[in-house]
């Protein structure tokens, strides 16, 4: 129970009809998400909590299984009630009821520990009605508790789902955060209606696409690197295999983004920009996201199996590394950036596996150094912002083992790895392998000043905090970066197809 509301005894007494208590649902009503679903998904980070919740459910009968699972999750998964995405329209409605001197009760099927945490944070409720381990306070069970609480008198109820239909039918006044099927007639004279009246399916398309981050699929263009440097772009079957591989990796990446956002939802809500992501903002339900992630991953693996066993193995390694990074490895300094560089390099290996060629060790080495530089750049940007806010060198990045005092070291490592990638490129251009595959390999030397320009410009801009949160995302949207890529491709084309006769005269040297 929260503390009673203090009212002014000298204030005018409201009309009897305006004194009816207000009962407010939690999930998808007071908050825009489902707290129990979020906690269940987050328990995957701590297998002991997940197994305990499953065990609690298996020990109960069908009637109390859900409430037992919710109770176990509430005991083991910490809820930051202050970070939840609250529904502003519902909060305003509650505050208006309080101003009128009405009794306001949080009535939810969520566990009582969760309900109490929300009530304590908001300080807007006189009491709570919530599930216990022995009873799931949903539908008619919630209605019975409400009628008992108001002594079978008139009441107003705010809800969102079909499970609330019997409560709305018994209520004197009805409010809707969403209007489910079967409640359209009751919503005609509602005290609160949702701003959007689109069907649930159409309303979910946009946030689901946003959470899938299709703009990030451009990173999977690395799968075409092997096709380019193996000079198989004239082979229709190789191009088709590379394209199917690109689709497979992109679907897998979207699945990974969905899973990571579900697992990191509380951390995202505490972030200045990530709190606008669909799960953090509550615009995409956790169960829909989980189902979409499973479906996308299944489709990705099916396409990978059609390409080749080697491609499927590389994709599975990519998934395993991604999960290890998200759940564990990102907490370790240096290890985290090496894993990020490996994940980008695996895309090149996957592209080679798709078309059945061996990737060049020169290209793989360049990739590791280059993407390690970008990974350090990402940490440098995060640390530089931390240093701007923190007064001490011991200030630490959230969930990562980097401190403000590491800023110069991280910058040095990043620039050094960028330079090593350029040195690797220079050695590759001068190798015997290049001389056997290009008519005029001297054109490839044009690549070196282009990459020098891009690498050192990017680090200069990172130092000025003009890159944004992600250097790779910056490269995708930056016009000079796109121009640099075009010039690199032009250099390869010139080296491959233009013959200046240097070989006949012994070259330029």
Alpha-carbon span 109 to 182, nearest angstrom: 20
Residues near 255 by beta carbon (within 8 Å), at least 6 away in sequence: 292, 293, 294, 296, 297, 300
Lowest mean pLDDT among 131-145, 146-160, 166-180, 463-477: 463-477
pLDDT average, residue stretch 67-92:
91
Range with lowest mean pLDDT among 241-255, 392-406, 424-438:
392-406
pTM across the whole model: 0.82
By three-state DSSP, how is residue 60 classified?
Answer: coil
Q: What is the pLDDT of residue 454?
A: 95
Say if residue 197's pLDDT is above 60.
no
Q: pLDDT digits over 292-301, tens only?
A: 999 999 999 9
Q: Are residues 244 and 307 in contact, defined by beta-carbon separation less than 8 angstroms?
A: yes
Measured CA distances, 286 to 45, 163, 235, 274, 353 (Å): 16, 18, 43, 16, 35
For range 87-94, the mean pLDDT: 94
Sign of CA dihedral 223, 228, 231, 235: positive
Q: Is the pLDDT of residue 1 over 50?
A: no
Asked whether residue 393 carries a pLDDT value surpassing 80, the answer given is no
* 407, HSE (Cβ side, Cα atoms, 13 Å): 18
pLDDT band at 504 (very low <50, low <70, confident <90, very high): very low
User: pLDDT tens, 351-381?
Assistant: 999 999 998 899 999 999 999 999 999 999 9
Residue 194: what pLDDT? 83
Q: Cα–Cα distance between 266 and 271 in angstroms, integer? A: 9
Q: Which of 456, 457, 451, 433 is nearest to 491 (CA)?
A: 451
20: number of Cβ within 10 Å: 18
pLDDT at 402: 85
List Cα–Cα distances, 207 to 87, 212, 337, 473, in angstroms: 17, 9, 29, 20
How far is Cα 458 from Cα 455, in angstroms, rounded to an integer?
5
pLDDT digits (tens, 9 = 90+) for 104-121: 999 999 999 999 999 999
């Amino acid at each position: 129970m929260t503390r009673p509301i203090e009212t002014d005894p000298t204030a005018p007494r409201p009309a009897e009809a305006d004194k009816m208590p207000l009962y407010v649902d939690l999930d998808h009503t007071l908050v825009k998400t489902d707290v129990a679903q979020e906690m269940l998904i987050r328990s995957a980070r701590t297998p002991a909590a997940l197994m305990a919740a499953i065990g609690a459910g298996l020990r109960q009968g069908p009637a109390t299984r859900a409430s037992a699972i919710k109770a176990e999750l509430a005991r083991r998964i910490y809820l930051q009630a202050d970070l939840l995405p609250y529904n502003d329209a519902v909060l305003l409605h509650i505050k208006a009821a309080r101003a009128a001197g009405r009794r306001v009760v949080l009535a939810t099927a969520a566990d009582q520990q969760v309900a109490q945490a929300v009530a304590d944070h908001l300080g807007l409720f006189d009491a709570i009605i919530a599930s216990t381990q022995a009873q799931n306070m949903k539908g008619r069970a919630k209605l019975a508790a409400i009628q008992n609480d108001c002594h079978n008198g008139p009441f107003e109820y705010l809800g969102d789902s079909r499970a609330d239909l019997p409560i709305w039918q018994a209520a004197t006044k009805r409010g809707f955060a969403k209007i489910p099927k079967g409640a359209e007639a009751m919503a005609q004279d509602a005290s609160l209606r949702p701003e959007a009246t689109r069907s649930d399916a159409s309303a979910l398309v946009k946030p689901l696409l946003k959470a899938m981050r299709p703009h990030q699929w451009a990173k999977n263009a690395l799968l075409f690197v092997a096709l380019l440097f193996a000079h198989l772009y004239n082979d229709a079957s190789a191009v088709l295999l590379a394209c199917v591989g690109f689709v497979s990796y992109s679907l897998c990446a979207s699945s990974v983004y969905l899973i990571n956002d579900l697992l990191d939802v509380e951390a995202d809500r505490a972030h200045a920009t990530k709190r606008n992501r669909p799960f953090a903002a509550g615009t995409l339900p956790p169960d829909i996201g989980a189902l979409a992630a499973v479906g996308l991953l299944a489709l990705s693996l099916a396409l990978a199996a059609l390409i080749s066993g080697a491609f499927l193995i590389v994709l599975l390694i990519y998934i395993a590394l991604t999960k290890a990074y998200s759940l564990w490895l990102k907490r370790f300094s240096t290890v985290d950036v090496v894993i990020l560089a490996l994940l980008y390099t695996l895309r090149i290996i996957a592209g080679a596996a798709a078309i059945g060629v061996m990737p060049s060790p020169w290209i793989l080495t360049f990739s590791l150094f280059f993407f390690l530089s970008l990974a350090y750049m990402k940490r440098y940007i995060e640390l530089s912002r931390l240093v701007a806010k923190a007064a001490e060198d011991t200030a630490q990045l959230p969930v990562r083992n980097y401190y403000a005092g590491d800023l110069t070291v991280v910058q040095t490592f990043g620039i050094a790895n960028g330079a090593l990638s350029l040195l690797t490129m220079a050695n590759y251009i001068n190798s015997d392998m290049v001389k056997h595959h290009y008519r005029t390999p001297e054109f490839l030397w044009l690549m070196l000043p282009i990459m020098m320009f891009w690498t050192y410009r990017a680090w200069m801009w990172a130092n000025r905090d003009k890159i944004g949160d992600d250097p790779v995302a910056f490269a995708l949207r930056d016009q000079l970066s796109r121009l640099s890529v075009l010039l690199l491709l032009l250099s390869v084309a010139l080296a491959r197809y233009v013959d200046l006769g240097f070989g006949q005269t012994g070259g330029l040297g």
